[in-house]
Structure 1
C-alpha cells in the first residue's frame, strides 16, 4: 500500500524509472510519453489496492494469489537487476526511499516468504468489512488513488521527495551548509545540489544565477524535442512581463544547439538558453516544460506546464507568487486523513449495517420460534382435548 501511494504521489518520476527498464529491454519511449504515465498510475493503483485488500480482508483468496504472483514477478526482476545492474534504483518506493539493488532483492525475498502462509491459508486473514459491502471500499480506494495520480500528473507532486522542493535555499546548501540542513536534505539530495550545474557555452554560470537578488524564473525543459509547445505563447508572455518588471527568465535544457534553434524558430522564443544535465533537470520539476521561481538562490515556487502563473489579464507579481514551504509530515497527515477518515466511516457504517441486520434476523427468528411454540402448545391442547373426549 505504501509503495503504491508514493508512486501515485509522483507518477512522472515513476514513469522515468519504468522507461529506464523498458529501454534496457529494447523498447524506446521518450520520457514524456503518455504511456509511461498510464503505466505508472496503473502500477500504483494495483499495489495500493492489493495493500487495501490485504488490510481489510477483501476477496481473500484472489487477493493472496494475485499478491504472491505479483511479488514473485517483482522478485524475479530485482534478481535480474541485481545481477546485471540494469538500473541503479528499482523505484519500489519512488524517490521517497532509495534502496540499492541488493537491498531491494533481499526485501523482495522477505516479502515473497511472507506471502506463502497467506496464500495457503487465506481464510485466516481477518475480514474488516462484510462481503456484501466490499465493492464500496474497493471503489473508494480505486477512485482515491487514481485521482491522486492524475492530480499530481497535471499539477506537480503533492509531496516533493527531490532535492529541489519549494523553500530549499540552494545557495546556502552550496556555500554554507550546517548539520541540521544536511540531515533535512539527506546525503543523496545534498550531493545533487552540490553537483548542480548551469552552463552558458563552456562557462559555469550556476553561482551567478543563484546569487541573483532579482526574481529569476527558470524554465526547465530536459528535452526541448519532446516539450509541450502548446504553452509557448504563455511562456513568451511571461518573458515580456518579466522584462517589464525587471525580472530574469532563462530556459535551461539538456538539448543541443540544433534543438534549441528549432524550438526558437517554432515558438518565437526570445529568452536566453542555458545548458544543464538532463537527470538533474528532471529532478528539479516534474514537467516538460516546468517553471521555478528563484531569488537569492532560494526556490520560492514551482509550476507545471499546466499552471504557469499568468492570469488572463497578463498580470504578474513575483512577490505574491512566493509560496510557503510545506512540511512533508503535514501533507502526509492530510492525505492520510482524507483517505482513512472516509474509510473508517465506511467500515463503521458496515458494522452498524451488519449489527442491524443481525438484530433484524434475530427478531424474525424469535417471532418464528414464538409462532412455532404457540402452534406446538395449541397442538398439545388439541391432542389433550381429543384424548379426554
Structure 2
C-alpha cells in the first residue's frame, strides 16, 4: 500500500499541476468553457455565467495548489479530501457531457490538448481510482520537508499561481496554443487539404411499406425502395478533417470580405467580441492607434459580433472612423483573449498580437 500510495501521489500531483497550469495560462478561455457548461443546453444553471471568470480562477489556482500540496505532503487529509471532492464532481460532469453529447471538449488541458468526451471521462475515472488509493492510504503521505519549509512552499505555490493568473488576465496567455498565434497564417488555417479524411455519415431512411414503417441504412444514397418516404435521420460515425480555423469571417452587410483583407500586406485588426462589453480604457486608446496606423501606411478595421447600432455608438463615443465588420463571437474570443485586442496581419500571417493594456508595445 505504501508503494501504491507513493506512485499515486506522484502521478496525481504532477497531473494536477500540469492540467491546472495549462488552464491557469488561459483562465479567460477556461471561463468560456465554464459558461458553456452553465448554459441552459448543458447544466441549465445560467445564473452562474456572470461568475464564470471568478470560478475559473479559483478552480485552476486550487488545482495547481492541490497538486503541490500532495507532492510536498502539506496537510494530507485536507488535500486528499479536496482531491476526492473535485474528482467526484468532474467525473460526474464529464460523464454527463459525454453520455448526453452536450460538450465536445471538456477544456481539461485548455487548447494544448483536445480530448474526446469519453476519453476525458475515462481519464477522470483513472484519476479517481488513484485518488481512492490516496484516500485509503492517507497515513503514508508524509511531508518531504520540515513543517516550516513545507508551509512556506505551500504558501508560495498559492501566491505564485494567483500572481501568474493575474498577469495573463491583464496581458495575454504566455503560451498560445491556438490557431491564431503569432506566426500562423489564418488563410492556411482555414484551408482543407485535398487528401483530408472525409466524414463518415450514416443515413437512416424511413419508409411506409405495405402499411408498416421500415428503416433502411445507407452511406448517403437514396435507397431504391417501393414505399412512401416518411423521413430521414443522420448520424456522424467518424468526423472528417477539421481545419484549425473555423467560423472566421470579415463580413459586411452584403458580402464576406475575408479573402480581400487577408491579402492585405499591412493590416491592423481591432477585435472586440462584444462592443457592449469593451473595456473603456482600451477603447480610449484606439483613436491614437488608428491615427498612427494610417500615418504608417496600414489599413485598420474592426471585428465584432455586435449589431450596427452598437457599432455606431462606440465609434461616436470614442472618435473612431474605421469600419467594424462582422465575425462570429466564439471565433473572436478564440482570436485574442482581450476586449479589445489588436492584431497586425501581413497577407493573413499574424505578425503581432497584443492586449489593450500592452498597446504601447505594438511596433508599426
TM-score (norm 1): 0.72
Is this contact kept in 2: 1:163–1:189, CA < 8 A? Answer: no
Name the structure 2 match of 1:261: 312
- For the residues of structure 2 that align with 1:128 and 1:134, how far apart are their CA atoms? 8
* Root-mean-square deviation over aligned CA pairs: 2.4
Q: Give the direction of change, closer, same or farther, for the CA distance of 1:163–1:204 in structure 2 (3 Å limit).
A: same
Q: Aligned-pair distance for 1:124?
A: 1.9
Q: Which residue of 2 aligns with 1:291?
A: 342
Per the alignment, residue 31 of structure 2 pairs with 15
Give the aligned partner of residue 218 of structure 1. 269
The whole-number CA distance in structure 2 between the counterparts of 1:260 and 1:138 is: 48
Give the secondary structure class of the aligned counterpart of 1:40.
Answer: helix
Aligned with 1:204: secondary structure?
coil
Instruction: Return closer, same or farther for 1:289/1:90 CA change in 2, 3 Å cut-off.
Output: same
Post-superposition offset of 1:47: 0.5
Residue equivalent to 2:303: 252
1:1-389 alignment, distance < 5 Å: 1-24=17-40, 25-28=44-47, 35-174=51-190, 191-193=243-245, 195-213=247-265, 215-309=266-360, 317-318=363-364
- Name the SS of the counterpart of 1:15 in structure 2: helix
Residues 74-94 of structure 1 show CA distances to partners (whole Å, capped at 9, x for unaligned) of 112222222333333222122
Q: CA deviation at 1:243?
A: 2.0
**Is the 8 Å Cα contact of residues 189 and 244 (structure 2) preserved in structure 1?**
no
- Once the 2 structures are TM-superposed, how far is the Cα of residue 126 of structure 1 from its aligned partner? 4.7
> Residues of 1 paired with 2:242 and 2:115: CA distance?
17
Measure the CA separation in 1 of the matches of 2:109 and 2:168. 16
SS in 1 for 2:281: helix
CA distance in 2, matches of 1:269, 1:28: 35
Task: Point out the more displaced range, 44-53 or 84-93.
Answer: 84-93
Q: Rate the CA distance shift 1:258–1:245 in 2: closer, same or farther, 3 A.
A: same
Relative to structure 1, is the Cα distance of residues 79 and 300 closer, same or farther in structure 2, using a 3 angstrom cutoff? same
Q: How far does residue 229 in structure 1 lie from its aligned partner after superposition?
A: 2.6
8 A Cα contact 2:144 2:150, kept in partner: no
Unaligned runs of 5+ in 2: 1-16, 196-238
Q: Indicate the structure with greater strand content.
A: 2
Quick one: distance in 1 between partners of 2:343 and 2:163? Answer: 25
Q: If you compute each CA radius of gyration, which structure gives the higher value, 1 or 2?
A: 1
Gapped regions of structure 1 (runs ≥ 5): 180-186, 311-315, 319-389
TM-score, scaled to structure 2? 0.77
